[in-house]
Chains A and B, each alone.
Chain A
Amino acid sequence: MVDFAGWEMPIVYRGIIEEHEQTRRSGSIFDVSHMGRLHFSGKEAVTFLNRVLTRNVSDQKVGQSRYSLVCNDAGGVLDDIIISKDAKNWILVCNASNREKLVKYFGDVRRSSGLDFDMSDQTEGTAMIALQGPKVIERLSSVFPTDLKALKRYHFVSDSFMMMVKYTVFRSGYTGEDGVELILPAKMAGMAIKMLAGKADKPDATIKPAGLGARDTLRLEAGMPLYGHELGESLDPISAGLGWAVDLTKEFVGVEKLREIHKAGPARKLVGIELEGRRIARQGTSIVVDGAVVGEVTSGTFSPTLQKSIAMAYIDSAYAVEGGLLSADLKGVMNPGKVVRLPFYKRNS
């Protein structure tokens, strides 16, 4: 167990690669209770959310979730979040390491704007569990009262087990696989995990526990950004390839700067890189073309699924072309590679 933003987190249970492969082949259960869960309600909650989120929430329907960014005035990313519209309130799921920063920032915006809304931090009273993998929906359909198969991607429902344990289930995840994420009362989490994972210690169990290590290699194969790597306060969502989650036609914090970046075109872009050999280019590794440094790796691993060394990196836009040849400077040894399309891995659907 390691400490992560004050949470004791399981990095690995049996082996990162084994847990990774179990997720791609069948299913895994991840404890992601460290993720922040904030609730918003009140008559000006929509106005507030539209001010701090890059995505327009006005047309969002009950039962819908959307990935969005929270930006600063310079267009840098304060966090990447998922905003969901429930019947009574809005649920915002944020990164553990950014939760306190966001709560303070949202409080500051409320004071300075005078907008009328309520915000409550539900993180500690609830638990969050992700179940991911191609066999998860089928396996859980026999356990859940909710019709999971009818639940569309990026949609959710609030329901209860035997009219007692209330939960919210989202068809979403951070692994590139189909699956769900579940929020439920913290004291019910232990029981729910036993019920959902079933006989997880059996060698042929459909769903087995997986830790943060596998979660990281899975999201990287799926080309999904991780805050502190691909995203940060000095990095903007346009350069990160997240323009689809930024509505430049509405007004929000950071929009002026993002419009400028969009218009001029980003100086650097986030790309996928495949390297020859088995060496891993980790965060901070220089990317070199013709002897000149043109970028820097943000995340890298040896992909268990592709059996290739993969990385994401910000590189000068002139070189951000699919098939472009480059090298990763691994302690002075130039390891050749090329720019590839993200994601590295896409499930069959």
Chain B
Amino acid sequence: MSAPTDRRYLQTHEWHQPQGDTITIGITQFAADELTDITFVQLPKVGTKLIANKAFGEIESVKATSDLYSGVSGEVVAVNEKLSGEPGLVNRDPYAGGWMIKVKVTDAADMTKLLSTEDYLTKTGH
């Protein structure tokens, strides 16, 4: 298993990709595969304030329901509206088309606390 090196991770399988002053969040291929077919993604509204390491939404598959976590504090500035009608995008394209939210971070230092690609892969044992 591999994961993109242009982003940082939580052990709970969310990736965080910096783009300018916002950070895009989604889940890893490993998480999407483990969940199997995703049937529903509940995301916050634009403007919602997030707190680092708190759940911001839920993801549901045929198999299970899981919370989604943000590794950074900030404000939601964009939500992937496509996922409401096409949640399977997360399975097919978790690192690009299956992105979930964009967050304008309060403290850029939050990102440095997240796992590097290598550490994520080691810690999650795959």
List chain A positions with a Cβ less than 8 A from chain B: 12, 15-18, 213, 217, 277-280, 282, 301-302
Pairwise interchain contact B39-A280, C-beta atoms closer than 8 A: yes
Identity of the chain B residue whose Cβ is nearest the Cβ of A18 in the assembled complex: B37
Indicate if B87 sits at the interface (CB-CB under 8 A): yes
A45 → B minimal CB distance (Å): 41
Identity of the chain B residue whose Cβ is nearest the Cβ of A217 in the assembled complex: B62
How many Å lie between the Cα of A239 and that of B60 in the bound state? 30
How many Å lie between the Cα of A239 and that of B65 in the bound state? 29
B76 → A minimal CB distance (Å): 19
Pairwise interchain contact B40-A302, C-beta atoms closer than 8 A: yes
Pairwise interchain contact B87-A278, C-beta atoms closer than 8 A: yes
List chain B positions with a Cβ less than 8 A from chain A: 36-37, 39-40, 42, 60, 62-63, 65, 87-88, 91
Identity of the chain B residue whose Cβ is nearest the Cβ of A278 in the assembled complex: B40
A80 → B minimal CB distance (Å): 23
Pairwise interchain contact A280-B37, C-beta atoms closer than 8 A: no
How many Å lie between the Cα of A257 and that of B60 in the bound state? 41
Identity of the chain A residue whose Cβ is nearest the Cβ of B41 in the assembled complex: A278
Pairwise interchain contact A280-B36, C-beta atoms closer than 8 A: no
Pairwise interchain contact B37-A15, C-beta atoms closer than 8 A: yes
Q: Tally A-B pairs: CB < 8 A.
A: 34
Pairwise interchain contact A213-B62, C-beta atoms closer than 8 A: yes
Pairwise interchain contact A15-B60, C-beta atoms closer than 8 A: no
Pairwise interchain contact B63-A213, C-beta atoms closer than 8 A: yes
Known A213-B62, A279-B60; contact A12-B40, beta-carbon cutoff 8 A:
no
Known A213-B62, A217-B62; contact A279-B40, beta-carbon cutoff 8 A:
yes
How many Å lie between the Cα of A213 and that of B91 in the bound state? 17
Question: Which among B40, B62, B65 has the highest number of chain A CB atoms within 10 Å?
Answer: B62
Identity of the chain A residue whose Cβ is nearest the Cβ of B39 in the assembled complex: A302
List of B residues within 8 angstroms of A302 by Cβ: 39-40, 60, 62
**Contact with B65, one of A16, A17, A282 (Cβ below 8 angstroms):** A282
Pairwise interchain contact A16-B36, C-beta atoms closer than 8 A: yes
Closest CB pairs A-B (n = 7): A302-B39, A278-B40, A17-B37, A16-B62, A16-B37, A16-B36, A280-B60
List of A residues within 8 angstroms of B40 by Cβ: 277-280, 302
Identity of the chain B residue whose Cβ is nearest the Cβ of A12 in the assembled complex: B36
How many Å lie between the Cα of A282 and that of B63 in the bound state? 10
Question: Which among B37, B63, B87 has the highest number of chain A CB atoms within 10 Å?
Answer: B37
List of A residues within 8 angstroms of B62 by Cβ: 16-17, 213, 217, 301-302
A189 → B minimal CB distance (Å): 26
List of B residues within 8 angstroms of A279 by Cβ: 40, 42, 60
How many Å lie between the Cα of A301 and that of B60 in the bound state? 10
Q: 14 A-B Cβ contacts within 8 A?
A: A15-B91, A16-B37, A16-B62, A17-B88, A18-B37, A217-B62, A278-B39, A278-B40, A279-B40, A279-B60, A280-B60, A280-B65, A282-B65, A302-B60
How many Å lie between the Cα of A65 and that of B56 in the bound state? 52
Known A278-B87, A282-B65; contact A213-B36, beta-carbon cutoff 8 A:
yes
Identity of the chain A residue whose Cβ is nearest the Cβ of B40 in the assembled complex: A278
List of B residues within 8 angstroms of A213 by Cβ: 36, 62-63
How many Å lie between the Cα of A102 and that of B62 in the bound state? 31
List of A residues within 8 angstroms of B87 by Cβ: 278
List of B residues within 8 angstroms of A217 by Cβ: 62
How many Å lie between the Cα of A301 and that of B63 in the bound state? 8
A333 → B minimal CB distance (Å): 10
List of B residues within 8 angstroms of A17 by Cβ: 37, 62, 88
How many Å lie between the Cα of A67 and that of B42 in the bound state? 41
B14 → A minimal CB distance (Å): 20
B65 → A minimal CB distance (Å): 7
List of A residues within 8 angstroms of B60 by Cβ: 278-280, 302
How many Å lie between the Cα of A277 and that of B40 in the bound state? 9
